Amino acid sequence: MSFIDKCKTRGFAALIIATLLFLLYTQSFAGMLGFLIIFGIPYFAMNDLPAYASTQDKIGKYIFLAVCTCIFIFLILPILIIIPLSFNAEPYFSFTEGMMALDPSAYSTRWYQDIWRFGMTAPDGDEGWWTDMWNNATWIRAMRNSFFLAIVSTLLATGFGTLAALGLSRPEMPFRSAITSLLISPMIVPLVITATGMFFFYGGTMQGIIPGYEKGLANTYLGLTLAHATLGVPFVIITVTATLSGFDRSLIRASEGLGANGWTTFTKVIMPLITPGMISGALFAFITSLDEVVAVIFLADVDQRTIPRQMFSGLREQISPTILAVATILVVMSIILLTTVELLRRRSERLRGLSPG
């Protein structure tokens, strides 16, 4: 049934009447919009039920769709709500009267400016403004730390992880189950326990073992990188083995049968097929590191504060909408990452002939 046809039915008339009654009762257009979303979406999502469906079935289906709509709203609303909130002109975490009335003066970008202004020695000075911002702005420094850590630990985790996944997905792999459980465990073991162990081990036991790190690895970038690489490993393993699970092993034999050596087979046959999985795994590891805060709390000094660490102390000490501005940037980034991963997954499925794409 097309959209137009749907609008001509009795059900649609009932929906409109109910919405108007709701508007009369609450006298609010925002409320009416909410009502229309919750009850209208399921109405339009109702597809033709089989002929044997009773009225009871239809009502059941409608309620089911309404419940699902509410759940999707529950999932997505908190994430979307922070975007308008971050443009609040007042230092609050809630909508002001002016914002509700769509008054332009109630909105501002001051919290976005705060991202690079907060912590600068002379935010309005001209002399050396860029160096001042680069070196002193609290959030800019946190971003630098976060991205540095995320990139290095992702490279480590992806390198080791892909290699291990290649081994794990071979049919002749011994102790597969035991080794897989071990490699996945950084995701399972509570972060507090991992971080506690690392806090003792990196800070105490590692003292004097690595040249240049006589005081141990606590409060160093090296320690944090190791920690984040460890936490990223399970995600790489899971995604790359998933890619390899549909891998046609006869391709390898075909390549060998045609005279290719191991290296050529790897670069020309295996690599192109697993690259999408590898990149998704790397993106997972990247976002894990970018989002990780427990290990940073335990292992990092003020100098190594990352974005989530800064948000954590911000939420605990002085809640300011700057956090929401940063959060909005992070949401935009996760949308980009998610899109990339989805596209890669489809490409990989197409390459392996699993779905029409």
Cβ distance to another protein smaller for residue 86 or 119: 86
As measured in angstroms, the least distance from the Cβ of 312 to another protein is 6
Cβ distance to another protein smaller for residue 130 or 263: 263
Judge contact between 92 and 321, C-beta under 8 A: yes
Distance CA 321, CA 310 (A): 13
Query: Applying CB under 8 A, which part among 3-11, 131-139, 269-277, 306-314 lies near another protein?
Result: 306-314
Name which of 164, 294, 176 is nearest 235 in CA terms.
Answer: 164
Judge contact between 306 and 142, C-beta under 8 A: yes
Cβ distance to another protein smaller for residue 30 or 101: 30
Query: Can you tell me which of 142, 150, 164, 285 binds another protein, judged by CB under 8 A?
Result: 164
Query: Can you tell me which of 13, 17, 182, 354 binds another protein, judged by CB under 8 A?
Result: 182
Q: Which H or E element spans position 94?
A: none
As measured in angstroms, the least distance from the Cβ of 226 to another protein is 5
Residue whose structure tokens are 């003292």 = 207
Compute the residue count for the chain.
Answer: 357
312 near another protein (CB under 8 A) = yes
Binding-site residue total for another protein (CB under 8 A)? 104
As measured in angstroms, the least distance from the Cβ of 123 to another protein is 24
Here's the x/- map for another protein, 256-285, by CB under 8 A: it reads as ----------------------------x-
Here's the x/- map for another protein, 95-134, by CB under 8 A: it reads as x---------------------------------------
Name which of 111, 158, 106, 7 is nearest 327 in CA terms.
Answer: 111
What radius of gyration do the chain's Cα atoms show?
27
Give the pair of three-digit tokens for residue 137: 């702005």
Query: Can you tell me which of 174, 212, 257, 259 binds another protein, judged by CB under 8 A?
Result: 174
Name which of 14, 18, 45, 12 is nearest 31 in CA terms.
Answer: 18
Give the pair of three-digit tokens for residue 125: 């000075």
Q: Which of residues 144-163 bind another protein (CB under 8 A)?
A: 156, 160-161, 163
Judge contact between 156 and 229, C-beta under 8 A: yes
Contacts 24+ apart (CB under 8 A), 184-192: 184/234, 184/237, 184/238, 185/234, 186/230, 186/231, 186/233, 186/234, 187/231, 187/234, 187/235, 188/234, 191/231, 191/292, 191/294, 191/295, 192/294
Q: Which of residues 73-92 bind another protein (CB under 8 A)?
A: 74-79, 81-82, 85, 92
Query: Applying CB under 8 A, which part among 104-112, 126-134, 263-271, 323-331 lies near another protein?
Result: 323-331
Cβ distance to another protein smaller for residue 22 or 148: 22
Query: Applying CB under 8 A, which part among 8-16, 124-132, 198-206, 249-257 lies near another protein?
Result: 198-206
Cβ distance to another protein smaller for residue 133 or 243: 243
Query: Can you tell me which of 9, 26, 113, 121 binds another protein, judged by CB under 8 A?
Result: 26
